[in-house]
Structure 1
Amino acid sequence: MYGNDETVRSMLAPRGETWAVVGLSGNRQRAAYGVAELLQRQGKRIVPVHPKAETVLGEQGYRSLAEVPFPVGVVDVFVNSAWAGAVADEAVAAGARAVWFQLGVVDEDAYRRVREAGLEMVMDRCPAIELRRPDFADLRSDAR
């Protein structure tokens, strides 16, 4: 498992942090949309990052992390594993504090690079699933 429970807890902690969701579009059928919506309900500001740069869930979208004109705390990656490493490198360059690769997104070299750069990282897990765990109930907005 890539990213222990302490790291997951740290990333999901209710501190109103900004999450850039890479791969988020206005397509409500995609997992990225549902997770971004949940993160918003948890008090996170979400930033859509997608080539279309469309506004999603009331938030302005950007074509890349480099275009986001303000600090991002967590970069949540919903792209194919073949492209995820490049996104992780962009997250490091952008000054994010953490990177989260969604279920099925695995790049062990990227995981190593991100950790060596001093960022927290979770890989092959989903915040929506983690927030449903009984031992993380205190992190959910409905528990506060």
Structure 2
Amino acid sequence: MQNPSKAEIKEILQRSKRIAVVGLSDRPDRTSHMVSKAMQDAGYEIIPVNPTIDEALGVKAVSSLKEIDGPIDIVNVFRRSEQLPGVAEEFLETDAPVFWAQQGLVNEEAYQMLKEKGRTVIMDLCIKVAHAVTK
């Protein structure tokens, strides 16, 4: 399992505008909220994907990726590693080009499934940190 190069990640972040965040919490003390807020503050449109909340970061939440209207550039995932294959299956039903699993999240099955379909996969890397170091 190998992430794209730093240069490729920089290019992904530069061309991307809309980030769907699977598992985004509405609680400001949660990592998913803090990271997504930082990305929102950096100019990205954040779409909360969480069936257990109504909204996060001032944006109405959707229950699944399928409910999102319009293009998605990155799907950023805050779910346990063992849940990544299920999220990957749903991701493959979208046209989103980049599946990004946050720091500490790795799943070989999900990685292989996505790579076989030609999607860009990033795992075990914080999008906020990547954004900060590739500016």
Q: Shared fold by TM > 0.5?
A: yes
Question: Which residue of structure 1 aligns with residue 116 of structure 2?
Answer: 116
Question: Which residue of structure 2 aligns with residue 41 of structure 1?
Answer: 41
Question: Which residue of structure 2 aligns with residue 81 of structure 1?
Answer: 81
Counterpart-to-counterpart distance in 2, 1:12 and 1:125: 13
Structure 1 range deviating more: 4-13 or 67-76: 4-13
* Equivalent residues in 2 for 1:52-91, closer than 5 Å: 52-91=52-91
**1:82-101 alpha-carbon deviations (Å, 9 max, x no partner):** 11111112112111111000
Gaps of 5+ in 1: 140-144
Gaps of 5+ in 2: none
Counterpart-to-counterpart distance in 1, 2:16 and 2:98: 14
Counterpart-to-counterpart distance in 2, 1:11 and 1:39: 14
Q: Is the 8 A contact 1:3 1:123 kept in 2?
A: no
**1:24-46 alpha-carbon deviations (Å, 9 max, x no partner):** 02111111101111111221110
Counterpart-to-counterpart distance in 1, 2:131 and 2:71: 24
Question: Which residue of structure 1 aligns with residue 30 of structure 2?
Answer: 30
Name the aligned partner's letter for residue 7 of structure 1: E
SS of equivalent to 1:11 = helix
Could you tell me how far 1:16 is from its partner in structure 2? 5.3
Q: Is the 8 A contact 1:7 1:120 kept in 2?
A: no
Could you tell me how far 1:132 is from its partner in structure 2? 2.9
Structure 1 range deviating more: 108-117 or 74-83: 108-117
* Equivalent residues in 2 for 1:118-137, closer than 5 Å: 118-133=118-133, 136=134
Counterpart-to-counterpart distance in 2, 1:72 and 1:3: 19
Name the aligned partner's letter for residue 97 of structure 1: P
Q: State the aligned residue count.
A: 134
Q: Is the 8 A contact 1:16 1:45 kept in 2?
A: no
SS of equivalent to 2:90 = helix
> Alpha carbon RMSD of aligned pairs, Å?
1.5
Q: Is the 8 A contact 2:21 2:48 kept in 1?
A: yes
SS of equivalent to 1:47 = strand
Counterpart-to-counterpart distance in 2, 1:109 and 1:6: 26
Name the aligned partner's letter for residue 118 of structure 2: G
Q: What's the TM-score once normalised by structure 1's chain length? A: 0.85
Question: Which residue of structure 2 aligns with residue 142 of structure 1?
Answer: none
Q: What's the TM-score once normalised by structure 2's chain length? A: 0.90
SS of equivalent to 1:2 = coil
Name the aligned partner's letter for residue 3 of structure 2: Y
SS of equivalent to 2:60 = coil
